[in-house]
């Protein structure tokens, strides 16, 4: 008997039909002799709708109440799914994140899991029931308030439960057949990836590929949970994300011995660019600036410092950060202008980031040349560049991002013959 954790995203449970379709799938998995724990997201775009609604009521960020509000989305889908399963003759019970033992820190809106004690889930599955758990939410160990894990956080709930329950696999059901070489909503010729190392998947997720929550991939890698990303709309085999490098070398007969050089192209529209202009070019100024930004609890992504213009003794420092953290970081920097001694701050939300990812690129010197050549041919100007061993990222204007993604995807021979299927969802 296997223990399977199945996670269904918002587009899979967008309406009553969707919930019934998912219920059937869960009941079939259970009937095939498996123990099943299900994690659900909120229906369709309902989390965004709740956010919009709150925005019509207040502009004050009341983080505690926002988490109370947003966590309601998952409570709706979990209860409806349990009803749909019971309707099919199965036996299901739903649990909030708190009831399922998802213990977090107290950072509302971006809480981190610090402990998982799923006693009630264990009892339910030992009884032969199907346990449904609300994704994306937990409870703070200190304040006992309800917290949420950040947008897309249900994936992380699923993996955390899979790890705590020692599940055999964590299946992430979504509205496409797996992880693609680019977002199929932007590149219709993108191809499904059959197997990907968690190292490459981490870079894809960190670079804005929304198919999996970054923290879900980190968690799966740390705890060795195999992930199977697949569609809830088809029975097709999806993409396997393999947790350890050892899994990668279990080569089947007939399989090519070397991995492809490039696994895919990711893009991200959620970041803004900050330039601190005229920073005194003396030791300690970068530390001051990033200290201030870190104090605003912001994750910095790319950083570029220019050489100081000759004789000026001043330099510019640019970095990118999530748009949602932009205001707080800018306010904090402005408040410290006199202390740091910079001239002005420029802030631009009209940027996009494109990343090319592949573990094979570290041993292939021609990759960067081909990458920049593709952008040049597409007429795309580059604003910032950063690299890791298995990734090259650039910042471009938001307007040219889709063009850039398609150009790079084509330049690396990733275009497939058939158009990728997007079964549902709005990609919001």
Q: Tell me which residue has its CB nearest to Mg ion.
A: 152
Site string for Mg ion, 139-178 (x = CB under 5 A): -------------x--------------------------
Which partner, Mg ion, ligand ASP, none, binds residue 136 by CB below 5 to 8 Å per kind? ligand ASP
Widest pairwise Cα distance in the chain? 79
Q: Is 180 annotated to bind ligand? A: yes
CA 236 to chain CA centroid, nearest Å: 23
Residue among 152 and 238 whose Cβ is closer to Mg ion? 152
Q: Which residues contact 274 (CB under 8 A, 6 or more apart)?
A: 318, 319, 320, 321, 326, 329, 330, 333, 345, 346, 347
Which partner, Mg ion, ligand ASP, none, binds residue 151 by CB below 5 to 8 Å per kind? ligand ASP
Residue among 95 and 136 whose Cβ is closer to ligand ASP? 136
Q: Which residues contact 160 (CB under 8 A, 6 or more apart)?
A: 102, 113, 116, 219
CA-closest candidate to residue 275, choices 385, 397, 384: 384
Q: Is 10 annotated to bind ligand? A: yes
Q: Is 173 annotated to bind ligand? A: no
Q: Which residues bind ligand ASP (CB under 6 A)?
A: 9-10, 41-42, 47, 73, 135-136, 151-154
Q: Are 358 and 390 in contact (CB under 8 A)?
A: yes
> Which sign does the torsion angle of CA 348, 214, 299, 382 carry?
negative
List, as one string, the DSSP characters of 283-305: TTHHHHHHHHHHHTT-----EEE
Q: Is 8 annotated to bind ligand? A: yes
Residue among 50 and 330 whose Cβ is closer to ligand ASP? 50
Token pair listed for 412: 């690396």
Q: Which residues contact 16 (CB under 8 A, 6 or more apart)?
A: 80
Which partner, ligand ASP, Mg ion, none, binds residue 47 by CB below 5 to 8 Å per kind? ligand ASP
Residue among 172 and 196 whose Cβ is closer to ligand ASP? 172
Residue among 136 and 173 whose Cβ is closer to ligand ASP? 136
Q: Give yes or no for residue 9 binding Mg ion (CB under 5 A).
A: yes
Feature table: binding site: 7-10, 47, 74, 174-175, 180, 185
Annotated binding site for ATP: 7-10, 174-175, 180, 185
Q: Where on the chain is the footprint of Mg ion (CB under 5 A)?
A: 9, 152
Residues annotated within a binding site for substrate: 47, 74
């Amino acid at each position: 008997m296997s223990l399977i954790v199945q996670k269904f995203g918002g587009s899979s449970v967008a309406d009553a039909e969707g919930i019934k379709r998912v219920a059937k799938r869960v009941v079939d998995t259970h009937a095939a002799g498996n123990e099943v724990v299900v994690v659900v997201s909120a229906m369709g775009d309902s989390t965004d709708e709740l956010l919009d609604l709150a925005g019509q009521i207040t502009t004050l960020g009341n983080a505690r109440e926002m988490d109370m509000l947003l966590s309601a989305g998952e409570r709706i889908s979990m209860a409806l799914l349990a009803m749909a399963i019971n309707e099919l003759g199965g036996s299901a019970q739903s649990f909030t994140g708190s009831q399922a033992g998802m213990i977090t820190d107290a950072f509302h809106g971006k809480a981190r899991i610090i402990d998982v004690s799923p006693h009630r889930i264990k009892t339910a599955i030992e009884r032969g029931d199907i346990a449904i758990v609300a994704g994306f939410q937990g409870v703070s160990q200190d304040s006992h308030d309800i917290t949420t894990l950040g947008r897309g956080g249900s994936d992380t709930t699923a993996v955390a439960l899979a790890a705590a329950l020692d599940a055999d696999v964590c299946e992430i059901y979504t509205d496409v057949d797996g992880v693609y070489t680019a977002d199929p909503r932007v590149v219709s010729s993108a191809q499904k990836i059959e197997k990907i190392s968690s190292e490459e998947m981490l870079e894809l997720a960190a670079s804005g590929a929304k198919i999996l929550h970054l923290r879900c991939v980190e968690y799966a890698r740390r705890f060795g949970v195999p992930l199977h990303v697949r569609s809830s709309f088809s029975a097709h085999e999806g993409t396997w994300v393999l947790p350890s490098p050892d899994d990668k070398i279990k080569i089947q007969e007939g399989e090519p011995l070397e991995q492809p050089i490039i696994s895919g192209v990711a893009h991200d529209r959620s970041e803004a660019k900050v330039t601190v202009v005229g920073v005194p070019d003396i030791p300690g100024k970068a530390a001051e600036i990033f200290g201030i930004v870190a104090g605003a609890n912001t994750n910095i992504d790319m950083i570029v410092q220019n050489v100081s213009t000759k004789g000026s003794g001043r330099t510019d420092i640019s970095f990118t950060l999530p748009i949602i953290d932009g205001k707080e970081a800018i306010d904090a920097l402005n408040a410290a202008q006199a202390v740091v001694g910079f001239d002005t701050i420029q802030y631009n939300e009209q940027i996009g980031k494109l990343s090319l990812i592949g573990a094979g690129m570290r041993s292939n010197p021609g990759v960067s040349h081909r990458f920049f050549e593709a952008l040049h041919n597409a007429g795309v100007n580059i604003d910032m560049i950063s690299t890791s061993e298995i990734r090259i990222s650039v910042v471009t204007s938001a307007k040219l991002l889709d063009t850039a993604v398609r150009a790079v995807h084509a330049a690396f021979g990733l275009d497939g013959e058939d158009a990728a299927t997007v079964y549902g969802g709005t990609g919001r």
